[in-house]
Copies of this chain bind each other. A is one copy, B any other.
């Protein structure tokens, strides 16, 4: 099982030595979570790195008492750290489980230690971050000038089944619109 996951990750991003893989496997945990479990609470310093084997998560923060969802993660996605890497402030985000999920978790400190010990592991992680940057830029493009309809369509493109797995309110929030507007867009199809 673990082998399959490692294989999937390293094939997609970058290969690592058997040694690095062994050390990595020592540190990760595979954990099952239940719907509505909170993985990270706003304000917490501890932050793990999550990879989703099966299930769905969201990350949100609070602004004017509204919960704003700005990241979903489904199968084979990562949830990257939300903290400022330079100043090391606490997490501004809460990460919540949206459906019963199986995750690979790795402590932030262990991740740093693996990066320090194994050059190839740090390389792998660097490539993963490059991918995250690319995704974030896509998302900015989407928010910057596309219509609500276009943004909705590309989300469905990326996650075809998200509608049945994630509450409409969270999807609306992610798209930067109200629930009512999303409901109407959906109805017009």
Instruction: List A residues at the B interface (Cβ < 8 Å).
Output: 12-13, 61, 63, 66, 68, 70, 80-86, 115-116, 119, 122-123, 125-127, 129-134, 136-137, 139-141, 143-145, 173, 176
Given contacts A85-B134, A115-B123, A137-B70, contact A144 B143 (CB under 8 A): yes
Contacts of A144 in B (CB 8 A): 68, 70, 143, 173, 176
Tell me the bound Cα distance from A84 to B137 in angstroms. Answer: 10
Asked if B176 contacts A131 (CB within 8 A), the reply is no
Number of copies: 2
Tell me the bound Cα distance from A136 to B71 in angstroms. Answer: 13
Q: Chain A contact residues: over half helix, strand or loop, or mixed?
A: helix
Contacts of A136 in B (CB 8 A): 133, 136-137, 140
Asked if B140 contacts A68 (CB within 8 A), the reply is no
Asked if B145 contacts A68 (CB within 8 A), the reply is yes
CB distance from A84 to the nearest CB of B (A): 5
Contacts of A130 in B (CB 8 A): 81, 85, 129
Contacts of A61 in B (CB 8 A): 141
Residue of chain B at shortest CB distance from A64: B145
Tell me the bound Cα distance from A116 to B126 in angstroms. Answer: 12
CB distance from A159 to the nearest CB of B (A): 17
Contacts of A126 in B (CB 8 A): 115, 122, 125-126, 129
CB distance from A19 to the nearest CB of B (A): 14
Contacts of A86 in B (CB 8 A): 12-13, 127, 131, 134
